[in-house]
Structure 1
Amino acid sequence: MALCCAGATLVSSARLLRGVVGASQLGRPALFYCTAITSGRMEVNGANLHYQRTGCGDHVLLLLPGALGSSQTDFGPQLKFLNKDIFTIIGWDPRGYGLSIPPARDYPADFFSRDAKDAVDLMQAMNFKRFSLLGWSDGGITALIAAGSYPSLINKLVVWGANAYVTEEDLDLYNAVAAEKKRGVGIFFKRNLPFTHQTTVAEGSCKRCNKLESKDEKALGGSIWKGVFCQYVLSMGGSHDSFFQKI
């Protein structure tokens, strides 16, 4: 899913995260060698994960995309415009999404927890001992689970468009989106996926809906969220979410 209202989200996120630096630093131009957006891969928990990296600041951020999304499709504005003199910014593609294919995306009962572990282990493998999380939609759920499961590693947390639970209205919407994706004409399909992976991920998205429909507590993290002890938590959502406007 693409990030909607990126400008407002970017500003709100930056206001929360900039608390670790002095206001006078915000006007400093980024060093040239910090402005490039580079790509890499790393083997983590049996998956070859793709990531993007930019910036050279002391405050490390991990960007977590939504369902079917990737670092570039969901966080292009943040990768480009967040202050790279203040932040070191990592965007990742969860296993089975974006350029982290293969493997094909699958949906075990604890797939959000698996994503959370993959994300944290990726950051640890990159030698980042403590970092902040920005999570959108499914990435917000993953970020909350990561913060609850690994509180000593998480500095600050920003989530928007995440679920705490699943309602019948949510399920109707998920199934409508999954049906659109399965037809191969979905707005998310053409934007986020190479053609060769569209059918596989569409079918997987239906499986995702079924997991959420089962209301299995493991799927959304359950009691894990109670372990979130971040000093600063900003939760965002609104009527201009593209997920609701386009369907």
Structure 2
Amino acid sequence: MKPILFFLAMLPALFSAQTNVSKLKKEYIKLLETSGYGNNAKAGQYYDVNGIKMYCETYGEGQPLLLIHGNGGSIVDFSKQIPFFSKHYKVIVADSRAHGKSVDKGNALTYEMMADDYAQLLQKMKIDSAYVIGWSDGGINGLLLSMRHPEMVKKLIVTGANLRPDSTAVQADVFKRVSANYAKFKEQFAAKKDKTDLDYKVLKYKRLLSEQPNINPKALQGIKVPVLVIGGDYDVIKPEHTLEIFRNIPQANLWILPNSGHSTLVVYTDEFNAKADTFFKTKFRSIKDRDREF
């Protein structure tokens, strides 16, 4: 199974709330196969980051905007965002550690490691700070980046992020399925004699999905930058957990998209892109006291 196929295998859950799931999924899969993002020699470059080779592509000019993909994904997942944002921003989009073209032969994989990778990537590119959009696991990385390297983040948007790997954060049926798949894969992995690099990579993905993250909600209170917290009302991440994230970030806005699963930025591409652009360009407004009544 190629990494992109691991991501595509999760698409039914990502699109689960939409009535036109089949059409949306087919269109998105075709786009992933034909867009060329993630395989653009003119835009791509490798960087030595924390002992790994991290592959990154850049598009456009302007304020730096870092896009961070999710578990089992890669640069190409943002095929619906790169064309829009590259008109006004310098879009920086990389394959996370152990994903896509990024080379990582180690056995360990944590969100903290990936957040630190992105901080060093920006440093290598001589970028002091950037706007950040993180999808799913990329949202987790974005939260950790803003906590561990606050000076590197101007503003942050996260969609489909979670703080812990349990049924208080993830829909119960999804959590049960993920846990069962992980247990089964570990058995198969242990029994397999001739393990491939892909076997080790998929084990890291599944372990990450099942055992992490482990972020104390109160730790989010240390985030100093404005954050737009997004989720679908039928997301695999429970809306009440998305609300928990929102409530623990001092300067946060909340946006729950109707009739949407985990792929908010795919299902609502135009609305998502426009909302993100406006959020980045508009001064954060805190509504307090009697102003809340208006």
TM-score w.r.t. length of structure 2 = 0.57
Match of 1:221 among 215, 218, 236: 215
Do the aligned partners of residues 209 and 85 (structure 1) sit closer, same or farther apart at CA in structure 2, a change above 3 Å counting?
Answer: closer
Q: How far did residue 126 of structure 1 move?
A: 0.1
Root mean square deviation, CA, Å: 2.9
What is aligned with 2:203? 203
Distance in 1 (CA, whole Å) between partners of 2:54 and 2:178 is 26
Letter in 2 for 1:205: Y
Aligned pair count? Answer: 189
- Is the contact made by 2:71 and 2:137 (CA closer than 8 Å) also made in structure 1? yes
- Is the contact made by 1:55 and 1:88 (CA closer than 8 Å) also made in structure 2? yes
Distance in 1 (CA, whole Å) between partners of 2:78 and 2:42 is 12
Q: Which has the higher contact order (CA 8 A, sep 6+)?
A: 1
Distance in 2 (CA, whole Å) between partners of 1:37 and 1:235 is 33
- Give the match's secondary structure for 1:102: coil
Letter in 2 for 1:221: I
Do the aligned partners of residues 198 and 225 (structure 1) sit closer, same or farther apart at CA in structure 2, a change above 3 Å counting?
Answer: same
Written as runs of structure 1 = structure 2, the 5 A alignment for 1:45-124 is 45-57=50-62, 59-72=63-76, 74-79=77-82, 81-103=83-105, 106-107=108-109, 111-124=110-123
- Is the contact made by 1:64 and 1:135 (CA closer than 8 Å) also made in structure 2? yes
Letter in 2 for 1:127: K
Do the aligned partners of residues 86 and 181 (structure 1) sit closer, same or farther apart at CA in structure 2, a change above 3 Å counting?
Answer: farther
State percent identity of aligned pairs: 26
Larger radius of gyration: 2
What is aligned with 1:130? 129
- Give the match's secondary structure for 1:172: helix
Do the aligned partners of residues 234 and 101 (structure 1) sit closer, same or farther apart at CA in structure 2, a change above 3 Å counting?
Answer: same
Distance in 1 (CA, whole Å) between partners of 2:101 and 2:64 is 22
Letter in 2 for 1:175: S
- Is the contact made by 1:145 and 1:224 (CA closer than 8 Å) also made in structure 2? no
Q: How far did residue 200 of structure 1 move?
A: 2.3
- Give the match's secondary structure for 2:111: helix
Q: How far did residue 129 of structure 1 move?
A: 0.6
| 1:43 paired to 2:48 | yes
Do the aligned partners of residues 177 and 143 (structure 1) sit closer, same or farther apart at CA in structure 2, a change above 3 Å counting?
Answer: farther
